[in-house]
A and B are shown apart, each in its own frame.
Chain A
Amino acid sequence: MHNIVTMARRELGAYFLSPIAYAVAAVFLFSTGLAFGLGTFRNGAESSLRPLFEFWVVMILVFVLPMLTMRLLSEEFRAGTIETLMTLPISEVEVVLGKFFGAFVFYLVLLATLLLYPILMSIYGPLDVQLLICNYLGLLLLGALYIAAGLFFSACTNHQIIAVLLSFALLALMTFAAEGLAQQVEGWPRAVLQHLSVRMHFANFVRGMLEVNHLVFFLTTCGAFLFLTVKRLEMRRWQ
């Protein structure tokens, strides 16, 4: 536990010292701002944050989070710091969880900036706080899943670019393509693809519905990616 906190703190510190993280944060703020300004916050538009959360933020996160997670492990492999790290009394699980929470806390900072939009909206009409909490819970789970997947790909390669491309590909597939693909096939593949469709699970949170099976989906897939990352890290030593 102690080691996880130490590790997460270092990762968070590395983000605040890295130009990439600032660039990523800037892109996130700019693009969410654009989506809000053009899509939601205009005359005649429905007074709702739903399109912003349901589509734009998810889309932006698919691109932004892999850029945050790509360096987490591949940079350690590349620079060789994995050698000094893994010869300390720290386990693979602690390293992986530490890195995960480091990125997750940075993501929380990004999410906090999104609060600006509901606050702006509240000037014009009453705010549905319960809905907002539900949206945010969905975003937390979605981000956790994306970060875990990105971390896994970062553990697969020494090259950050490869890590980021693989993460984009998988997240885009799971988020946007799975639903469409499910229509093309029959039987159990359809069931699997439907179940893996991140947007379908996320949509419930955007609508303000809290259902256990969607919560379970996010927690299990996120856990599965973290597990694979640990295994990947353990495997690497045997090569």
Chain B
Amino acid sequence: MIRAVNLTKRFGPLLAVDRISFEVERGGVVGVLGPNGAGKTTTIRILTCFQPATSGSASIAGFDVINDSMEVRRRVGYLPESTPLYPEMRVREYLDFRGRLRAMSHADRRDAIRRVADRCWLGDFIDRPINQLSKGMKQRVGLADAIMHSPEVVILDEPTIGLDPRQIRETRNLIRELGEHHTILLCTHILPEVEQTCSRTIILAAGRIVASGSPQQLRDQLSAKARVVAEVQGPEEGEVKTSAAQIDGVQSVEVSSSNGWIRVAIQPKPDRDVREELFRLTTAKGWTLRELRREGATLEDFFIQVVAKQQGQQEGQPVLDTQGGDHA
């Protein structure tokens, strides 16, 4: 449905997007993740025919964004990141204007406005001027505009920014629902959003794709690195550390104390789970155990790791192996 081949975009000397290629199938929600300045918005602007790429090509529904720009624009609904709207217009008037430019008939516009007003919760302010709306309300107007013509492809650039928690949840539900019938490209840096809504994720950093796959797959790439954490009471730190290090399958051990409890963090060898051995150790020694868990890697860990790697390479430094570090 969406296809990008070697997309590159330069702003003068700055390489904002660097030979990106990807393909998105019909249906489903695909998340584009990346830190600030990664090139997400730039990529999206190329796909929506707003800015042409410096080189490379992109197509939507088989239509090239340069040569068949009008066909692409007919099939795409787009919510830019700053949600630009005409402040002096009323919401209904604005949607009607947009519907006209999309060549919708009078009856279609009326039905579509009724439908999106319902789906995007515009009911309370649909007849108010846009400059009187709050940020979140405007965001919903932008979203309504992006979906009012039932486009094949919906491209949303940070759609939940500025919404209250309830609206965020409802918007995510709406995006998931839309994903059943439309192809959705969702650009964000909110990781839970991706985990909740996306069937696939593309991670961009410094203009390049650094990882792609379902959120589950990305997490799995890291789960080999899951740690085992326990809290025990009884012996002194040194003894805990040496005993734990002797367990088969343990790679490294860290201990720390607080409030009379000793926290043991074990990094097992790949694909090993040492929880049972650790439990047996504590019972054998007669220590009190109050917590024992395996700390799975989160998408956030993955994100921080790949982004840090990319930045490390950029600056010519050795690749960092951060885990839950504070590079965000």
Contacts and interface: CB of A to CB of B under 8 A. Distances in A.
B150 to A, nearest CB: 15
Given A84-B78, A89-B70, A14 B88 contact: yes
Classify the interface of chain A: helix, strand, loop or mixed.
Answer: helix
Interface residues on B, range: 20 to 34
A92 to B, nearest CB: 11
A79 B94 CA distance: 15
Among B74, B86, B87, residue most surrounded by chain A Cβ atoms (within 10 Å): B86
6 contacts: A13-B88, A14-B89, A17-B89, A82-B84, A83-B45, A83-B50
A3 interface: yes
B74 A89 contact: yes
A3 B101 contact: yes
Contacts of B142: 84
A89 B73 contact: yes
Contacts of B100: 2, 6
Interface in B72-96: 73-74, 76, 78, 80, 82, 84-89, 93
Interface string A1-15: 011001100100110
Interface of B: 45, 48-52, 70, 73-74, 76, 78, 80, 82, 84-89, 93, 97-98, 100-103, 142, 145
A90 interface: yes
A86 interface: yes
A81 interface: yes
A14 B129 CA distance: 12
Given A83-B80, A87-B78, A237 B51 contact: yes
Contacts of B70: 89, 91
B78 A89 contact: no
A11 to B, nearest CB: 10
A90 B73 CA distance: 9
Nearest to B93: A13
Contacts of A7: 101
Given A10-B97, A89-B74, 8 more contacts: A3-B101, A10-B89, A13-B93, A17-B89, A83-B80, A84-B98, A89-B103, A90-B101
Contacts, number: 65
A13 B102 CA distance: 19
A84 B73 CA distance: 11
A80 interface: yes
A80 B82 contact: yes
B310 to A, nearest CB: 27
A91 B73 CA distance: 11
A18 interface: yes
Nearest to A17: B88
B48 A87 contact: yes
Interface of A: 2-3, 6-7, 10, 13-14, 17-18, 79-84, 86-91, 237-238
Given A6-B100, A237-B50, A87 B84 contact: no
Contacts of A237: 50-52
A80 B85 CA distance: 8
Contacts of B87: 79
Contacts of B51: 237-238
A24 B98 CA distance: 28
Nearest to B97: A10
B103 to A, nearest CB: 7
Contacts of B80: 80, 83-84
Given A87-B78, A90-B101, A14 B52 contact: no
B103 A2 contact: yes
A79 to B, nearest CB: 5
A181 to B, nearest CB: 38
Contacts of A79: 84, 86-87
Contacts of B101: 3, 6-7, 88-90
B133 to A, nearest CB: 15
Contacts of A86: 49-50
Among A6, A87, A237, residue most surrounded by chain B Cβ atoms (within 10 Å): A87
A119 B101 CA distance: 41
B126 to A, nearest CB: 17
Given A3-B101, A88-B98, A237-B50, A13 B89 contact: yes
Contacts of B49: 86-87
A88 B85 contact: no
A14 B50 contact: no
Contact of A14 (B84, B86, B98): B86
A222 B118 CA distance: 46
A83 B84 contact: yes
